[in-house]
Amino acid sequence: MVEIARYPEVVEAAAANLEPHLIAVYLRELAYALHTYYNAHQFIVDDADLRDARLALAVAARQVLANGLALLGVSAPESM
């Protein structure tokens, strides 16, 4: 969540300084953080609240990744 929350400030800094690479670097860091979290925790668990929270985190990360890629003019596939 900490990485996701940084998105607005990264976009603002990239725009203010005319440095779009800041968005690309941020997206790579976000993808790495999500990948690390996904490998460390099970997402499909019996506890419905925990499962829903973890899935909501993944959906939020997906949305931020898609938005960031769109800002850079890169298409994001729905699935791989």
Instruction: Let me know: does 17 contact 59? Beta carbons within 8 Å.
Output: no
pLDDT score at 80: 66
CATH of 2-72, one of 1.10.730.10, 3.30.565.60, 3.40.30.10, 3.20.20.150: 1.10.730.10
pLDDT score at 77: 79
Instruction: Let me know: does 38 contact 50? Beta carbons within 8 Å.
Output: no
Residue 17 belongs to what H/E stretch?
A: none
pLDDT tens over the chain, length 80 residues? 899 999 999 999 999 999 999 999 999 999 999 999 999 999 889 999 999 999 999 999 999 999 999 999 998 877 76
Domain ranges of the chain: 2-72
- Cα 39 to chain centroid, rounded: 15
pLDDT tens for each residue of 18-38: 999 999 999 999 999 999 999
pLDDT score at 78: 78
Tally the C-alpha atoms within 13 A of residue 63's C-alpha that lie toward its C-beta.
Answer: 9
DSSP 18: T
Instruction: Let me know: does 60 contact 66? Beta carbons within 8 Å.
Output: no
